[in-house]
Structure 1
Amino acid sequence: MKKQSDIVAELSDRELIMNVYLTQGIMIGLALISGFIVFDHWSEFQGLFKLDIPLIMVVGGSVAFIIVLVDVILERYLPKSWIDDGGINERVFKNISIPNITLLCFVVAVAEELLFRAVIQSAVGLVIASLLFAVIHFRYLQKPVLFINVTLVSFLLGALFYLTGNIWVTIFAHFLIDVSLGILIRLKY
């Protein structure tokens, strides 16, 4: 059986990005279908989307800033072998424009937060949703530092959703984390 890194190595950069969009589309579909099962009324699901701009910007932005800062520090001071994801993030971000990075990161943030926070966390709680989120990033399972990092970020985003009850806060935080780190990768090249 081929390892993920071998499969990814066979894909062109365009195919890799298209696969990212495909998996995110599947997650959005699963979130919407599961939402009909989890929530008694669609208005309950819609109630998770509160357009409280100060809360979204200040709380989501602050959490994202801290997470990005920790990631930058880890990258600077830890051996590359401890934080290397097999080059997948570099492959995704190094050759696409900043507007495309922004779009990709927005789609990822919406898809993952809808599925893992809005639906799964609402159905089974913070711990299971956060662990499932960490496990879907299975390429990190062989890298303890990366796996611990994604697990802690997952619990932090889950706690943010639990405390605010607002999915926009976690979507914004997730988006800022991904877009910031994606742009940092892009700027290296």
Structure 2
Amino acid sequence: MKKFDIRRLKIKPVSIDQIDDRMLLINLYATQAITLVIGFIWLLFQHRNPFLLFVLPEGLKFLYFGAGLAAAVIALDFLSARFVPDEANDDGGVNDRIFKHRAIWHVVVLSLIVSICEETLFRGAIQHQFGPYWTSIIFATIHVRYLKHWIPTGLVFAISYALGWIYIQTDTLWAPILAHFLIDMIMGFVIRFRREE
């Protein structure tokens, strides 16, 4: 029997253009499922009940914080798109591929899944252990497609920190989930309905 030699494994970089739409969606859903599972496991290691994070809070404070942050981020993104050259905001075409030809309901579903899964891991589990600053560094790092350009990397860090801040202010995960959902959904719709120049 041949021995397995890890040194013989070769990892080949793949560009977004080499992945078909079906595989892109499979990767997206798989990474979100993995993110949620890691978040739940991390919470269990912290001796916390993951389901308690999803108890709806009393009052509307979380709505104001979530919607307010989303409005600020979207305004900042529009300003950035207006004054910053396209090549400095380039994500390699990933967001265009994800949202451009997606049905409206699918944009909503994708945005909801991503916001719940990522906020469970980052705000619910990681921030509890490391605080909003280090959580935001990790969050910006996993959004690797932005790391080639400092402006989107800085924006992702700032948005993550703001998500962590509203989580602390409202004491509910629903505030950052709502903000993340609205940001992704509205920006997804912008990409979906944008006219080609």
The structure whose residues are more often helix, as a share, is: 1
Residue type at the aligned position of 1:35: L
Q: Describe the superposition over 1:50-107 as per-residue Cα deviations: whole angstroms up to 9, x where unpaired.
A: 3345123211001100101110111122111011111110000001111100000100
Q: How many Å separate the matches in 2 of 1:29 and 1:53? A: 29
The aligned amino acid for 1:129 is T
Which structure 2 residues correspond to residues 1-189 of structure 1 after superposition, within 5 A?
2-3=12-13, 6-38=14-46, 40-42=47-49, 46=52, 49-52=55-58, 54-189=60-195
Letter in 2 for 1:96: R
Which runs of no fewer than 5 residues in structure 2 stay unpaired?
A: 1-10
CA RMSD of aligned residues (A): 1.6
Per-residue displacement from partner, 1:122-159 (whole Å, max 9, x unpaired)? 12211111111111001111111110110110111011
Q: TM-score, normalised to structure 2's length? A: 0.88
Q: How many residues align?
A: 185
Task: Report sequence identity in percent.
Answer: 32
With 77-86 and 178-187 compared, the bigger mean Cα shift is at 77-86
CA contact (8 A) 1:48 1:165 kept: no
SS of corresponding position for 1:92: helix
Shift >6 Å, 4+ stretches:
none
The normalised TM-score by structure 1 is 0.92
1:47 is displaced (CA, Å) by 5.1
Paired with 2:154 and 2:48, the residues of 1 have a C-alpha distance of 36
Bigger CA drift: 50-59 or 149-158? Answer: 50-59
Contact 2:36/2:121, CA 8 A, preserved across alignment: yes
Match of 2:4 in 1: none
In the alignment, the residues of structure 1 paired with residue 173 and residue 150 of structure 2 have an alpha-carbon distance, to the nearest angstrom, of 29
- CA deviation after TM superposition for structure 1 residue 48, in Å: 6.2
Ranges in structure 1 where 5+ consecutive residues have no aligned partner: none
